[in-house]
């Protein structure tokens, strides 16, 4: 076995995110592994831009209050211990609620063929971010 050397925490680039977002690379597999695992921390109101993952993505909420929305759907509020999956190519965003920090474990796969594993789109506007939330009860 191997105890991995922790990588420095990175600030997420502003051209892909709104607000303060930091991540730790937990694991990035070497070929033939395509495993990717990041712990991502969002300040209140911070969120990703619209984007999709070529092989889908699983998000496991670790702390705080998360907001996740797929294109065409309502905003879903998620809490620690909950897990959401976005299928390959489904455009979506994820971030913290306006009044809470949020951290999630992001799990996805690299494409393995050199193509882009995440395709980035438009910023999530304040109007979109403050849109209606799904009633899950
Ligand atoms: Mn995503």
Q: Give the Å distances, CA to CA, from 72 to 21, 69, 75, 115.
A: 25, 8, 10, 26
51-103 pLDDT, tens digit per residue, is 999 999 999 999 999 999 999 999 999 999 999 999 999 999 999 999 999 99
Distance 4 CA to ligand 1 centre (A): 25
Q: E-strand spans in 1-137?
A: 10-11, 17-18, 21-28, 35-42, 47-48, 51-53, 57-64, 66-70, 76-78, 83-86, 92-96, 102-109, 118-120
Ligand 1 centre from 137 Cα, in Å?
25
pLDDT confidence of residue 97: 98
């Amino acid at each position: 076995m191997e105890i991995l050397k922790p990588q420095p925490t990175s600030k997420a680039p502003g051209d892909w995110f709104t607000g303060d977002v930091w991540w730790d690379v937990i694991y990035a597999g070497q070929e033939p592994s395509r495993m990717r695992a990041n712990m991502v921390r969002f300040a209140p109101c911070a969120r990703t831009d619209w984007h999709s993952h070529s092989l889908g993505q699983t998000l496991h909420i670790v702390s705080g209050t998360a907001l996740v929305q797929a294109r065409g759907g309502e905003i879903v509020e998620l809490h620690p211990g909950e897990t959401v999956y976005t299928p390959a190519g489904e455009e979506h965003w994820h971030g913290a609620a306006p009044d809470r920090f949020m951290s999630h474990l992001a799990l996805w796969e690299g494409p393995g063929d050199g193509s882009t594993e995440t395709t980035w789109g438009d910023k999530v506007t304040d109007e979109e971010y403050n849109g209606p939330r799904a009633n899950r009860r």
